[in-house]
Structures are given as structure tokens and as C-alpha cells.
Amino acid sequence: MVRRCAGQMIICRSEKEIEKIRTSCRLVAKILKKMEKAVVVGGTTKELDEIAEASIREAGAKPAFKGYRGYPAALCASVNSQVIHGIPNSRRLNNGDLVSLDLGVLLDGYYGDAAVTAVAGNATVRAARLISVTRESLYLGIQQAVVGNRISDISCAIQEAVESQGYAVVRSYVGHGIGTNLHEDPQVPNYGTRGKGPRLKEGMVLAIEPMVNEGTHEVKVLADNWTAETLDGRLSAHWEHTIAITKNGADILSKLEGE
Ligand code: MF3
Ligand code: CO
């Protein structure tokens, strides 16, 4: 079913389609779990990318990001002040490095997308607090993803959760619809006032992904044309789930079976 909302083309997925998206998302969750454990002192993000790509192909899936607008890897690994779209490289991770891991797959025609943030070795108090507020803000946003609410009710809940803790939400990148394309309508900003944007309907599938900065919300893109970094060089964390809107509330698709 295809519906037009405020100029956007938002697709409502059938239960069967949602199960396919769930299968893709579970694969992402499973691999991210493996990645989190592989974020170690002395390891590299390039190694993480290799494990991610091998795991994806082993499952008969394709990396969703590799080749997307020329992105060169399966995984986005953004270290410390890098916000998102960090390209994996061979620099060794130091104790306390914060690493945002973002992964997408395509399986049987449907996409899954999720992100987590992990720390190599011992997390500093600063990093641990930033990560926990980022994750918490995502869950508060997801709670607003119910039939009858509007997109910006999700956005506003995330922004309030983040700013009440003294952090800032990135504005120049947003969450998105997902399904048979990696990025579909609607856009899901992580900031805004309540009651704006398309109304949420059963069957909509959204990737909600707050990027949270310690200092300014402003980011710059590096010369590699991908890596987004905080303008002030302070830390940034990212957490993402793909969810489906159901009549019983938000169904988190990108979690492990039984989680
Ligand atoms: N989760 C991110 C997004 O939805 C990652 C995309 S990486 C890209 O935008 F390479 F595919 F762009
Ligand atoms: Co995404």
C-alpha cells in the first residue's frame, strides 16, 4: 500500500514484508553484537569491517552500504569525534576509544539497518554517560512511534532526552523510512516540536537514529567526502534501531530473537 503524506511517499508494509525486514534486521543485530565484542585495544576498524562483510555474505546477504553512493565499506565505524559514516581504516584503537558501529544489509529484497556505540578497553565516565544518554534517547523516541502520533513526536522526545542531559542532537543527518530501499520517506529528524510531519500509520517502518554530541551540534564532513566529525572535536555517539509501527505500538525489528 502506498500513501502520500505531505508530499512524501510513505509505504505501509504488510505483515509478510515486515517479517522480511525483521529477518534482515536480526542479521544486522547479530553481527553488531559480534562487532561490539571485537572493539578491542590494538584492533582496527578495518578488521571489524572485514568480519562484518564476511558475516553478511556467509548469511547469503549483501552489505547495504558498500557501493551506496560510492561508500567503500560494509560498515561505518566512527571513532571519538567522528559522528557517522566513518570509513574503516587500519589505525589501532586505543584504550577508551569510542566507536560508533553502523551496519546495513540487504536480504531477499529487504533492508535492515541498525547502529550501536562501543568502547575499546575501559570507557571513560564521559564516554559511558554520552553513550547511555544516546541509547536512552532512542528508546524514548521509539515509545512515541505509535499509530496516531506524528513523526515529530519521535523527534521531540529524542531532542528533549538529549538536551536535558546537556548534550546536543545532530541536525544535518536524520533517520529514515526503510524497506525495499535503504532510505525511503519519511525523514525522521532527531529534533523538532511535537505534532508536526506525517501521521504514523500501521505498517510504516522507520530507522530511528539519534546522533548525540557532547558539545556543539554542528558537524563537518572530512576530505574523504564521507566521515562526519563534530565541529568542536568533542565526542559523539550514535544508536539506531529499525522499528515497525503496529497497532500494539512500536515493534523493534533490529534486536536479537528473544531479546
Ligand atoms: N545508517 C546510516 C544511514 O542510514 C548509514 C548509511 S551509510 C551509507 O544513513 F554508506 F550507506 F550511506
Ligand atoms: Co540508517
Q: Confidence band (pLDDT; 50, 70, 90) for 259?
A: confident
- Nine-digit cell at 138? 532512542
Q: Give which of 197, 131, 190 is closest to 156, Cα–Cα.
A: 190
**Residue 67 identity (one-letter amino acid):** G
Query: Which ligand gives the minimal distance to the CA of 75?
Result: 1
For a mutational test of ligand 1's pocket, the pick from 66, 85, 209, 221, i.e. the residue with the most ligand atoms closer than 8 A to its C-beta, is: 85
Q: Confidence band (pLDDT; 50, 70, 90) for 258?
A: confident
Domain regions of the chain by residue span: 9-252
What average pLDDT does range 116-139 have in this prediction? 98
| Fold of the domain built from segment(s) 9-252 | Creatine Amidinohydrolase (3.90.230)
Find out whether the beta carbon of 85 lies less than 6 Å from any atom of ligand 1. yes
Closest approach atom of ligand 1 to CA 65: 11
pLDDT tens digit sequence for 196-218? 999 999 999 999 999 999 999 99
Q: Give which of 165, 111, 142 is closest to 241, Cα–Cα.
A: 142
Find out whether the beta carbon of 71 lies less than 6 Å from any atom of ligand 1. yes
Give the pLDDT of residue 8: 76
Alpha-carbon distance of 159 to 70, in angstroms, equals: 31
What separation in Å is there between the alpha carbon of 206 and the centre of ligand 2? 9
Find out whether the beta carbon of 27 lies less than 6 Å from any atom of ligand 1. no
Return the number of other C-beta atoms located less than 10 Å from residue 208's C-beta: 27
Q: What is the largest CA-CA distance in the chain?
A: 50
